[in-house]
Structures are given as C-alpha cells and as structure tokens.
C-alpha cells in the first residue's frame, strides 16, 4: 500500500468516514492528517457545480459553465481529437471551479431508442462509444483531475432504474455492455468509475463481485476508485467488499457505523478497508495537486467557439433532395418553429448545465448570406395544435423561397429518470409541417433531439439537418451548415428504425416490475437490423455531405487494412470511413458485421489519400462462455469498408489462424441467435443462452414491501395509508400533466414514484435513517400505529445519538491532537 504510513495513523472511525460522503458533493476530510475533501461534480458535457442548494436531478442552479453538445451529438463527429479537446476544456473548467472528480462521460449502450437518457450516451456501438469516451477521459485527466465513467453497467432504462434487475448472458454482457467500459479503463486510463443503480443478474452492480472484482479489477487492472451513483448504495459493507470505495452522497454517519460493526464482527476484513482507503487517498492526493499552483481562469469565448466547432463537426445531414442545401446566397427564407427562438440544446436531469452564453437562431441570422423574410413560432412547445400559429406560419412560408423549419423534442420528453413513451415528435409540429407543405414545398427541417425519432413525415421535407442537442453554440453551427460555410461531416452513431416496433428490444423494454430481460442478446442497433434484414430509415454510420467520396484499392495485411479515399466533388469535406468485420459461422453466432475501426479524413476537392486502419485486440475476438475468455475463431473473415453500415464500398477477405477453443453453443437450441432474428426470442431459447432459468419477472404481491421495493409498489401494499398515498401521487402526476406542467409532473416520477424505500434513507443526508424506514415500512405493510410509533421512537433515538456522537467526536479529536502535540 502506498499510503500505509497515513493509514496506520487513522482510527477505524476515520477510515469508515472516508468511504462515505461528507455532504451531497464532497468526500470526507480528515484535517489532522492533511486529508482534504474532494469535490465531485456533474457532468458529461459541461460542469454542473452547485454552490448552494444541491440535488442530483438538476433542479437547483449551478455556476455558469460552457454547455458543449451532449455525448449523443458529439458521437456523430466520430472525431477522437475533438473529443480529447472537449475533454481538455471540460477539465480546465472543472479546475477553475475547484472540482476534483468530473462525473462523466456516460457510456451506456443505446439498447432501445426510448431510454430517457440516450441523449447523454454516445452510441449503440461499444467500440465507437469506448474510443470516443477514452479521448474525453484523456483530455479531462490531462488537467490533473479525474474523470468518472458511468454508469457501470447495464443501466439502459430510466424507469425503475434504482431497482430493476437486468438479466443478460455473459457473452452479451462482455461484447456489448462492457466493451466501452473496458476501453475507457484500459485505453482512457480513467481514474474513477460510477457504479449504476440497477442490479445485474440478481445483485446490485456495486456489490457484484463478478463485474467489480473479476472483470474491473483483475482482468482490466483498474486501480482507481468506484463511486456509487447518488443514493445507489444498497448494503455499504457488501459494496466495500466488492471494492466500491466511495458511497455518495452522505448518510450522516449511518453507514459508517455499519462499516465499524462489520469490522468488529469480522464480516469485513480491515485489510480490505485499508486497501479501499489507499485507493481513495491516491485519488484525493493526485487530484488536488493541481490546486497547489495558481489556477488559471479559462477563456469563456474560446470555450464557446469550441462548443460551436464541436456542433459543426457533429451535425448530420440526413436528406438533401434536389440539392436544396446549401442555401444559396440571397435566397428568401422564412424561419419557422419555436426552437429557432428558444433552442433545444441539452437534456434534462443531472447533466444540465447553466450555459455561459446561449446562441439562438434568430440572433445569429444576421451572420448568414440568405435573406430572412421573417420568423413565426408555428407551434406551442408544450401545447396542443394552434390554428392561429399555423396560419401565421403559412402566411410567412408563402412569401419565401425556402422554409427553414425548426422542430424536435421538448425538454420534458428527454429526461433522466424517465423513458420516452414513443418515438414520435409532437403531433402539433407535424400538423404545422403538413400545413406549410401546402403553401411551400421547399422545406428544410432542422431537428433537435437527443435520440432516434420516427419520421413518417420525411417525404414532406426536401432537406433534413439533424442538430441533435448541440450545446450553447449550436444555433450558429447549424446556420453555417445551412449556408455552406461548413460542409456537414457527422454520421449517425445510432440507427434510425422506421418504426418503434422494429426495435429488437421493443417487447422487452422497459422492465416494468422486477427484471428486464435482454433477450435480443448481441443484436442491438445495426447488429440486429443488418443481420435480420430489417429495413431502417437511416442506418448506423449514415450521413450526407455536400461533396462525394470515392473508395478504392483495398489492401489487407496481417495487422491493418488500407485503401484510397478521394474527394470527387466540388466542396472540401471530411468523410468518416468505417471498418466492419463479419464472419459466417456455424459454431459461433454473430452479427453480420460489427464496427472495428474508423477514421475521419479531411480532403480538398480532387484530393486523394491512402487511409490506414489498424486491427487491434478487439478486431477478431469473441467471448467464449466455455473457456470464459476471449477467443478468436479460425477461418475467413469479411473485411468491409464503408461510408455507413449499409453502404459498403470495399470488400475483402482475410484468413486467421484463431485459437482452438471448444464450440460454445448448441446451434439447434439457439436458432434465433444463429439467424439473427432475435426480436422475439422465447423463454426456452433465452434460457438456453443464459444457461439457467430466468428469474421471476413479476412482483410477488403477497409479500410485504421491503427496502428495495419502490414507492410505485404501494399500489398493492397492505396498508391503506400506502395505497392512498400511491393514488394521490398518481392523481397529482395526472393533474400536472393535464394542466400542461409536464416538467413538474416528471419530477414526481423521477424523484418519488420509482424510488426504492431504501433511497429515502440514502438520499436525505441523515434526516431519515434505516430504523426509521423500518417504521415507515410497517405503516406501508398495514401496521399503521405500530409503525408510526416505531418511526417516531427511532427518530428521537437518532437525534440523541447524533448529539452524543458529535460530542464524542470532538472529544476524540482533542485527545488525538493532544497526543500529537505531547
């Protein structure tokens, strides 16, 4: 241990205190040993340092910081250098705000387009997400602080995220849901990992020895600290044993007492606690070094410019019929849609940033070369269809040569803690589009949202520019694309299915009661659409440019491929060339093709370059469940180079010696997986893949409710009071929605409805403790008076004990100081 000399001087109480928060955002300090608190702050696309009132869902304001485009947006850039630069700027801002640990990036897989937090995640592909995240991490950590990759792992739905049990087979876990984390740890060198709220195959992730010890520590060699998600600690001691050093936020000493008791009873070995403390100290000491020098202010303007550049690199041109784009100089343009005035530029929840500046389209129009004939709001962001607004918009549209229509999803639809209900954009926006189409067919839609939407209306627009959630400077970035100052080079980092029911996990999303079953296994996103031959609206990796590229002369070597890429059009531009690998096999089922490399290449008109993409340790590997290790199947592999997952330009074959692992599957019992048609796998086949029975997915309503049951389950509680409370919550939610207060209604879902009872103790910073919770649960389970008495008695006891322990802490501090001085 590196810090044995300090750890030897610590009392057990001090050790325990270091493993839990001091308050909502800080870790504990021990002044006498020179151990300071660390400040942990969100988030992934800008710093959310709350200087005053604290919360984990972004309700209270934070200090101003640059709001960069969200991860879902920047992923479309496929630009590792850019991600590194954003990371560096995030790091600089974090340092300027005295943050030690930046809680990002978020790298969960987009298993299903409805996951409410997809806007915060990179991709449906683990390789792309991992590579981009590693660059963010390197950038952030180059400034001396720590990044925190999250949420480890299989946190792919928001509803019931603190209680749901994800049932997934080992190979899928490794290949799809862990690979991005593996890259973040091994290549990014990330210093902290945030465990997720949910369970994995029956155990909370932060207590799960398999992922925390076997994989994270032993296989990947992670030497850093694991932090719980806020309020995500179930059993503190089990977490520590698994190597989850830090629980956040504070529980006002309640779990410290659990740690002490566990040491006394022998359940927790002191060596394990010491090792956790050693890693905590390394994190604290290394991330405070930077504060020993004078901290520079960052350049707000320069950071705003990078936010704009990041958006420019990430915008995806989806449609360009009759080359309506770029808009030529002097064209008379009508600007329509609420989003042009009030930009939709980031998602809701813990990642929300208070921007240093916010551009909007109307203010930026003066910097374009087209003539604006006017602006019309067109629709109410949170409202119903407005004939008046539509009429105004149509009148304006009729006077213009081209209509720029700003549409998308509103803030209340894409939010942490909630999943979307469908993949549609609001009907009042579609009504507006249809009405405008009758007076002017030259429509260019600019769409802003953080995840895939259905577009049954697409034939009504000639141009379609996807801005995603492009941060505080996104408005100008979009305008520069529209008028051709920037040639779009973004490519979708997720597939756009034609309709929600085509999504392979649609019949298993979200898990509504106890579990969610990942029956589709490896087949998420393009891995499914491609293999099962399901037509999509836009494939993974797709995006248009104002120029054209030609691919030729593929050369395959042992450790790399190379080919020529030429810009054959009239504009300078960048192309994202993508390497996919496929193999047909009767032994190991696999998707038709999988991304294994990519390169973004900038070329002037007529320019040609030889592009090289190296193979790496992930290129040919698969996880063999019999040998419990990564193996390589011998034989021929298809090498596919394309400008999207569908548009393959070059094809070749290479042969590999492989490893001689035994065949892991019985093909006959896994026919859906071998055919790739894995959207509706039945229980028997899923069990054959899992290698065990699937656990019960429904609530056992005959059982009393416990710590890990949620408030939503009060609907079947024995206690009348609990059932009554449940109906009140439902009524308030319904009522708030009815009167148009959707964001406030969401708050109820995010912070009450799906909260496990345990969270009441873990999230209230000591106001409510576990023994009080026992009282509350008695009330819930039908023992109203007994429970109430218990609750009040435990409260009195807690307050008394707290004042006693404050006195004894002060006394022991004086004693330790006196010993030191003596």
CB nearer to ligand BGC: give 114 or 445.
114
To ligand BGC, the closest distance from the beta carbon of 115 in angstroms equals 13
Binding to ligand BGC by CB under 6 A, coded x per residue (else -) over 56-95, reads x---------------------------------------
CB nearer to ligand BGC: give 45 or 236.
45
What is d(CA 822, CA 820) in angstroms, rounded to the nearest whole number? 5
To ligand BGC, the closest distance from the beta carbon of 352 in angstroms equals 10
CB nearer to ligand BGC: give 229 or 530.
229
> 47, 50, 17, 49: which is closest to 35 by C-alpha?
17
To ligand BGC, the closest distance from the beta carbon of 194 in angstroms equals 6
CB nearer to ligand BGC: give 42 or 414.
42
How distant, in Å, are the alpha carbons of 273, 361, 397, 423, 740 from that of 432? Answer: 61, 19, 11, 18, 20
- Does 174 contact ligand BGC by CB under 6 A? no
> 384, 474, 471, 477: which is closest to 432 by C-alpha?
384
To ligand BGC, the closest distance from the beta carbon of 757 in angstroms equals 17
* Count of residues interacting with ligand BGC (CB under 6 A): 7
Cβ pair 27, 246 in contact under 8 A: yes
DSSP 8-state symbol, 361: H
Catalytic residue among 125, 169, 229, 338: 229
Residues between 615 and 654 with contacts to ligand BGC, criterion CB under 6 A: none
CB nearer to ligand BGC: give 149 or 240.
149
| Helical (H) or strand (E) element with 142 | none
Residues between 345 and 384 with contacts to ligand BGC, criterion CB under 6 A: 350
CB nearer to ligand BGC: give 230 or 468.
230
Q: Which strands form 549-556's sheet, in the order they lie side by side?
A: 549-556, 560-567, 608-614
To ligand BGC, the closest distance from the beta carbon of 52 in angstroms equals 15
**39, 177, 230, 500: which one binds ligand BGC (CB under 6 A):** 230
- Does 338 contact ligand BGC by CB under 6 A? no
Going by C-beta distance under 8 Å and a sequence separation of 6 or more, which residues neighbour residue 494? 72, 75, 110, 113, 118, 123, 124, 451, 452, 525, 540
To ligand BGC, the closest distance from the beta carbon of 75 in angstroms equals 17
What is d(CA 727, CA 733) in angstroms, rounded to the nearest whole number? 10
What is d(CA 762, CA 772) in angstroms, rounded to the nearest whole number? 12
Going by C-beta distance under 8 Å and a sequence separation of 6 or more, which residues neighbour residue 394? 435, 436, 438, 439
Degrees to nearest 5, angle at CA 333 with 331 and 334: 170
**15, 150, 174, 304: which one binds ligand BGC (CB under 6 A):** 150
- Does 156 contact ligand BGC by CB under 6 A? no
- Does 42 contact ligand BGC by CB under 6 A? yes
**102, 103, 486, 577: which one binds ligand BGC (CB under 6 A):** 103
To the nearest 10 degrees (0 to 180), the angle between helices 270-288 and 254-265 is: 140
Strands 549-556, 594-603: pairing is unpaired
229 a catalytic residue: yes
- Does 247 contact ligand BGC by CB under 6 A? no
What is d(CA 110, CA 106) in angstroms, rounded to the nearest whole number? 11
Tokens (6 digits) for 242: 């698994």
To ligand BGC, the closest distance from the beta carbon of 705 in angstroms equals 23
Cβ pair 668, 675 in contact under 8 A: no
What is d(CA 192, CA 668) in angstroms, rounded to the nearest whole number? 43
**229, 431, 502, 517: which one binds ligand BGC (CB under 6 A):** 229
CB nearer to ligand BGC: give 56 or 762.
56
> Rounded to the nearest 5°, which phi and psi values hold at 744?
-65, -40
- Does 414 contact ligand BGC by CB under 6 A? no
Q: Which residues of the shown chain bind ligand BGC in the complex (CB under 6 A)?
A: 42, 56, 103, 150, 229-230, 350
Q: Active-site residues: which are they?
A: 229
């Amino acid at each position: 241990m590196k810090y044995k000399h300090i750890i030897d001087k610590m009392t057990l109480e001090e050790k325990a205190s270091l493993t839990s928060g001091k308050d909502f955002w800080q870790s504990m300090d021990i002044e006498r040993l020179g151990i300071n608190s660390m400040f942990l702050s969100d988030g992934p696309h800008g710093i959310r340092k709350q200087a005053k009132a604290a919360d984990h869902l972004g309700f209270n304001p934070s200090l101003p910081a640059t709001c960069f485009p969200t991860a879902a947006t920047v992923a479309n850039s496929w630009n590792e250098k850019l991600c590194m630069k954003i990371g560096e700027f995030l790091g600089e801002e974090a340092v300027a705000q005295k943050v030690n640990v930046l809680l990002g990036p978020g790298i969960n897989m987009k298993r299903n387009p409805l996951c409410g937090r997809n806007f915060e995640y990179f991709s449906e592909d683990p390789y792309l997400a991992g590579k981009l995240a590693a660059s963010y991490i390197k950038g952030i950590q180059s400034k001396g602080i720590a990044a925190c990759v999250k949420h480890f792992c299989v946190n792919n739905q928001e509803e019931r995220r603190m209680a749901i049990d994800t049932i997934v087979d080992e190979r899928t876990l490794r290949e799809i849901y862990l690979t991005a984390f593996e890259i973040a740890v091994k290549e990014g060198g990330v210093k902290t990992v945030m465990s997720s709220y949910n369970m994995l195959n029956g155990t909370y992730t932060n207590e799960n020895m398999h992922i925390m010890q076997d994989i994270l520590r032993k296989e990947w060699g992670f030497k850093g600290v694991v932090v719980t998600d806020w309020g995500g600690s179930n059993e503190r001691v089990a977490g520590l044993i698994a190597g989850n050093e830090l629980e956040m936020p504070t529980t006002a000493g309640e779990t410290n007492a659990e740690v002490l008791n566990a040491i006394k009873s022998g359940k927790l070995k002191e060596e394990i606690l010491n090792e956790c403390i050693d890693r905590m100290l390394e994190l604290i000491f290394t991330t405070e070094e930077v504060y020993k020098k004078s901290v520079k202010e960052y350049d707000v303007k320069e950071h705003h410019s990078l936010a704009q550049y990041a958006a420019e690199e990430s915008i995806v041109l989806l449609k360009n019929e009759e080359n309506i784009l770029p808009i030529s100089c002097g064209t008379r343009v009508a600007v329509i849609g609420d989003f042009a005035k009030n930009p939709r530029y980031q998602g809701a929840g813990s990642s929300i940033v208070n921007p240093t500046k916010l551009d909007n389209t109307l203010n930026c129009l003066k910097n374009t070369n087209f003539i604006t004939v006017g602006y019309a709001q067109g629709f109410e962001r949170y409202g119903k269809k407005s004939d008046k607004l539509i009429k105004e918009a149509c009148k304006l549209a009729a006077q213009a040569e081209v209509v720029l229509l700003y549409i998308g999803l509103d803030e209340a639809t894409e939010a942490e803690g909630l999943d979307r209900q469908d993949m549609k954009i609001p009907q009042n926006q579609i009504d507006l589009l249809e009405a405008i189409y009758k007076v002017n067919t030259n429509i260019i839609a600019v769409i802003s949202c953080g995840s895939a939407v259905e577009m049954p209306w697409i034939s009504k627009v000639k141009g379609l520019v996807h801005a995603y959630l492009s941060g505080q400077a996104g408005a100008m970035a979009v305008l520069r694309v529209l008028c051709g100052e920037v040639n779009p080079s973004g490519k979708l980092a997720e597939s756009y299915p034609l309709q929600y029911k085509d999504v392979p996990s649609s019949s298993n999303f979200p898990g509504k009661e106890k579990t969610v079953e990942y029956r589709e296994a490896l087949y998420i996103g393009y891995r499914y659409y491609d293999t099962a031959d399901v037509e999509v609206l836009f494939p993974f990796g797709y995006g248009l440019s104002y120029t054209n590229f030609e691919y030729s002369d593929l050369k395959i070597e042992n450790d790399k491929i190379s080919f020529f890429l030429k810009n054959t059009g009239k504009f300078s531009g960048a192309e994202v060339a993508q390497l996919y690998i496929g193999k047909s096999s009767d032994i190991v089922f696999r998707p038709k093709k999988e991304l294994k490399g990519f390169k973004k290449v900038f070329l002037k008109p007529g320019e040609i370059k030889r592009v090289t993409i190296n193979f790496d340790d992930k290129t040919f590997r698969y996880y063999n469940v019999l040998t419990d290790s990564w193996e390589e199947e011998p034989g021929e592999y298809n090498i596919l180079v394309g400008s999207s997952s569908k548009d393959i330009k070059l094809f070749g074959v290479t042969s590999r010696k492989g490893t001689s692992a035994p065949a892991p599957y019985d093909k006959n019992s896994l026919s859906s997986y071998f055919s790739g048609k894995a959207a509706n796998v039945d229980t028997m086949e899923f069990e054959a893949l899992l290698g065990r029975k699937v656990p019960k997915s429904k609530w056992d309503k005959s059982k009393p409710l416990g710590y890990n049951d949620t408030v939503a389950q009060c609907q079947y509680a024995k206690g009348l009071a609990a059932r009554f409370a449940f109906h009140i919550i439902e009524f308030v939610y319904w009522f708030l929605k009815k009167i148009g207060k959707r964001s406030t209604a969401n708050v109820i879902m995010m912070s009450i409805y799906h909260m496990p009872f345990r969270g009441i103790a873990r999230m209230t910073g000591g106001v409510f403790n576990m023994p009080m919770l026992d009282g509350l649960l008695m009330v819930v389970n039908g023992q109203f008076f007994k429970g109430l008495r218990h609750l009040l008695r435990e409260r009195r006891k807690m307050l008394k004990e707290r004042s006693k322990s404050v006195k004894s802490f002060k006394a022991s501090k004086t004693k330790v100081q006196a010993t030191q001085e003596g």
